[in-house]
Structure 1
Amino acid sequence: MKKIIYILAFFVLFISCSGQTKLGKPEVNPVEIQKKFMDWWTYQYNNIMLSIDFVPLDSNSKEITKEAFLQALSDGNYIPIRLKSDKNVFYYKLFKIEPTSDTSIKATISEAAFNEKQNLKKEGKPFPKFSFKDLNGNLITNENLKGKIVVIKCWYIHCTACIKEFPEVNNLVKKYKDRKDVIFISLAEDTPEQLMLFLEKKPLSYSVVPDMKTYMNLTLQLNAFPTHFIINKEGTIAKVLSDYKSLEVALKKVSKKQ
């Protein structure tokens, strides 16, 4: 009888353990990657997306909230490193910033995490009421976008990072061209005249709304550009994102749900 119980216990333990995600080692050596700013920056830019949904782990590999994770980064004592895993899930773990690390690493991470923390607070809330006219004279309001997934890009002409991602976001519009329930709008700080001249040389496939500086600064409370919003069909902010790569991942997830 005891033998049967032991076998059953082992079987239950095996089943429960086999269902768990096996986390591997960090993608890069956390100490080595901090020795040169450009090595760290290249890794951070290509592999870390703090805007998307991910599993946040503290320095002891214990799962924590995303808010706590971003706060730890904002405080300037940690860097985020992705762990290898056996599932298509992003696991980010906190690693201590080395005393000998370039001070620019600490400052850059702290600023980025602070902005992401502010963006996170906006998620789950209704997108502020609006009534805009784009460069073609089309009226865009909360009411006529009901039942649509709305992607909003916030930018301005002299924002290098905003312009750099034009080819990628234009391709994203092409990718979703058959989804009549996915709408792409951009809010720009600049005047209609400035935008028309600029967009002749640098086309943007989004609907472009001019003169949005006050709305973006005061109503949306943005302090970093570009910023992307994904609004779900109920008019709620699903995600706030800081770059194209994060936008692509998040939009794929949101559009599948709806």
Structure 2
Amino acid sequence: MKTLQLISIFLLHTSITSCKENTSKETADVQIENTEPEITIDVLEHDLKKWWTYHSYNISLSSNFKGLNEHSDTIDKKQFLEKLIKGNYIPLKLNSNTQFETYKLFKLDSTANESIVNTIKSVSSINFKHFKMEGKSFPKFDLTDLDGNRYTNKSTKGKTIILKTWFINCKSCVAEFPELNELVKRYQQKNDILFLSLALDSENELQDFLEGNNFNYQVIANQQEFIKEKLKLQIFPTHIIVDENGTILKVVNKASEMISFIENEKNPIENLPPPSPM
């Protein structure tokens, strides 16, 4: 039960604060001067609250991080996440000279807190699933928003789609509205960017809800089947960035990580220019 509670806390935290990435060659070419973390594993591995606080503020498994195995050898993101899924390691952030954050795997002791083991399995599995979606084509769609605008793979070709999945009673989904509204405002002059949201709720429910809750994405109702069957997503919110050719670039649960990918990463969306002045 404690493990389930912790995973639930993880999903809520992730949501509120919630061809593969080309990391292999880049990572191999980077020389890391300092491979020591600011904190040691023995301080964290027996204290669930302390570990989760550290992980939440220091580790972003959805980012373009540089990965090291337990022997300080460079490994790619796929290998890094696959090791984490087994529950034998936790990642610690290193003090390094690289442009991206550098994480190293540290092996958990056999006496480590079991909830830490189970939670890192869950966290890394979710991130690995998202990672495997990146580089693939977005599924075929034919969607109509609350204003009657229709969107298909063909009609959106040449446009970047910033997409969010959500539902009315998801508090963390609604909590992101102000942050996402600011993002829409910054790019409102760009006609080649679409901000779409797929909601589980009916049109009437959404229209009533949105009268008192401003959300500047285009909202599409009754999307439970598309989200769960075609996208195969179960966590809300989830943010997906799709490029002008219909390829999935990024999948994350945190709005902040999605925005960071757009505006701050080394390899941002190719055709997405800096935001206009506010």
CA 1:136–1:27 in 2, change beyond 3 Å: closer, same or farther? Answer: farther
Please report how far the alpha carbon of residue 206 of structure 1 lies from its aligned counterpart in structure 2 after TM superposition: 0.9
Aligned twin of 2:9? none
State the distance in 2 between where 1:75 and 1:164 align. 33
Shift of 1:256: 4.9
Aligned to 2:125, the other structure's residue is in SS state: helix
Work out the CA distance in 1 between the residues paired with 2:249 and 2:101.
Answer: 18
Partner in structure 2 of residue 126 of structure 1: 137
Which structure has the bigger radius of gyration?
1
Q: In 1, distance between residues paired with 2:257 and 2:101?
A: 12
Once residues 168 and 100 of structure 1 are traced to their aligned partners in structure 2, the CA distance between those partners, rounded to angstroms, is: 41
Structure 2, unaligned runs of 5 or more: 1-29, 272-278
Q: Partner residue of 2:159?
A: 148
Q: Distance in 1 between matches of 2:116 and 2:158?
A: 42
Please name the residue that 1:107 is paired with.
118
Name structure 1 gaps, 5 residues minimum. Answer: 1-18
Structure 2 contact 90–107 (Cα < 8 Å) conserved: yes
Asked if the contact 2:161/2:242 (under 8 Å) is kept, the reply is yes
CA distance in 1, matches of 2:172, 2:103: 24
Distance in 1 separating the partners of 2:113 and 2:243: 41
Q: 1:208 to 1:62 in 2, by over 3 A?
A: same
* Corresponding residue of 2:99: 88
Aligned mates of 2:177, 2:52 — CA distance in 1? 22
1:1-258 matches, cutoff 5 A: 20-252=31-263, 253=265, 255-258=268-271
- Higher deviation after alignment, 58-67 or 168-177: 168-177
Report the Cα distance in structure 1 between the residues aligned to 2:192 and 2:120, rounded to whole angstroms: 36
| Cα separation, 1, equivalents of 2:49 and 2:213 | 29
Is 38-47 or 106-115 further displaced after alignment? 38-47
SS at match of 1:23: coil
- Partner AA of 2:177 in structure 1: F
CA distance 1:98–1:155, shift in 2 (3 Å): farther
Quote the Cα distance in structure 2 between the aligned partners of 1:255 and 1:174. Answer: 19
Letter in 2 for 1:92: Y
In structure 1, give the amino acid aligned to 2:170: C
State how far apart, in whole Å, the 2-side matches of 1:107 and 1:167 are. Answer: 33
Distance change >3 Å, CA 31–CA 228, structure 1 → 2? same
Cα distance change on mapping 1:114 and 1:147 into 2, 3 Å = same
Question: TM-score w.r.t. structure 1 length?
Answer: 0.85
Q: Give 1:109 shift.
A: 1.4
- Normalised by the length of structure 2, the TM-score is 0.79
* Of 94-103 and 106-115, the range deviating more from structure 2: 94-103
Q: Distance in 1 between matches of 2:198 and 2:86?
A: 31
Query: What is the distance in 1 between the residues matched to 2:39 and 2:212?
Result: 40
> RMSD of the alignment, in Å?
2.0
More helix by share: 1
Match of 1:3 in 2: none
After superposition, the Cα gap between the structure-2 partners of 1:182 and 1:30, relative to the gap in structure 1 and judged at 3 Å, is farther
C-alpha distance in structure 2 between counterparts of 1:183 and 1:229, whole Å? 12
The aligned amino acid for 2:93 is R
Matched with 2:3 is none
Structure with greater contact order relative to length (CA < 8 Å, sep ≥ 6): 2
Residues of 2 paired with 1:213 and 1:227: CA distance? Answer: 13
C-alpha displacement of 1:21: 4.1
Distance 1:88 1:166 in 2: 30
Q: Report if aligned partners of 2:35, 2:72 keep a CA contact under 8 Å in 1.
A: no
Write the letter of the residue equivalent to 1:257. E
